[in-house]
Amino acid sequence: MVKMLVGLGADVNQASWDIAPLYLAAKKRYKETMRALLEAGADPNATHKGQMTALLMAACHGDLELVDSLLAAKADVNQCSERGVSPLYAASVLGYVEIARLLVAAGANVNVTEHQFGLSPLLIAAHAGHKTLVKLLLAAGADINYCSKRPDTCKRGLWSLHDDDVAGFSPLCLAVANNHVDMVLALIIAKADVNKGSPAPLLRAIQLGSLNMAKILLRANAKTDTAFHGESLVSLAAKLGHEDIVRALVEAAKQAKPSFLTRVLSREPSLDLSSPSHAA
């Protein structure tokens, strides 16, 4: 049908209601139609209402064949929607490792960020716990210590982290916040800065009451002599009732900087670690 219409002089780039034929074919996953349109000279970078391209839609579908066909037709691998969503970002949100692999091989920018939160593909993959995808992105040069930004709007959507406030989070902090232990270990092995982000990963572990995460971060030399709104981490953990974390923090501080324990206890006289409530 497409070939017949082209033979009759149809314009393969003529949009109807701002929907390009190629985009519609990708959305409906009409592969033969899409190939025919590309062969007839359809613009591989035509957008739907100035936003999504056929490649972005194909990435959202997780359709390797569609993505491969569009890349072969020279679709712009880094063209984003008006919200800053790239094909690689979409693949990272949805955990499509092989799609991401194709896009990276085609030159996708692994550090491009969407506009709402400034989230990178690595941040969103770490948040979702996509370990293989994180390794792929790191190998391609993703910034392991990049932190998200504060959003300019209160609106949330598919590309956000729903209702979470993720401003200032590093990939490591997001992995900690979501209790992805394997991801945390992988990021630390890859040399993630254990003190990067606001909140810092250790602070987030304390807020969540995760002794396991706190111990992992402390073994990786997370700083214990920081403060949260003027309050020491030890005091915060005690206030939240996390006595096991209090002991872990104090022990780590003693090993790292003996003078730190003296400073903490001098500021926090109520922290009597020899009392029954703090005994091991």
Share of the chain above pLDDT 70, in %: 78
What are the CA-CA distances from residue 96 to residues 53, 131, 218 (Å)? 18, 12, 33
Would you place residue 210 in the very low, low, confident or very high pLDDT band (cuts 50, 70, 90)? very high
**Rounded-to-integer distance, Cα 269 and Cα 67, Å:** 62
Q: Delineate the domains of the chain, giving CATH numbers in brackets.
A: 1-76 (1.25.40.20), 108-190 (1.25.40.20), 193-280 (1.25.40)
Of the ranges 97-101, 185-189, 221-225, 272-276, which one carries the lowest mean pLDDT score?
272-276
State residue 277's pLDDT score: 44
- Does position 150 have pLDDT exceeding 60, yes or no? yes
Residue 271, classified by CB atoms within 10 Å of its CB into exposed (0-12), middle (13-18) or buried (19+), is middle
> In whole angstroms, what is the distance from residue 259 CA to residue 278 CA?
21
pLDDT for the residue numbered 225: 86
Q: Is the pTM above the cut of 0.75?
A: yes
**pLDDT for 153:** 45
Separation between Cα atoms, residue 280 and residue 214, nearest integer Å: 17
Per residue in 222-238, pLDDT tens? 999 888 888 999 999 99
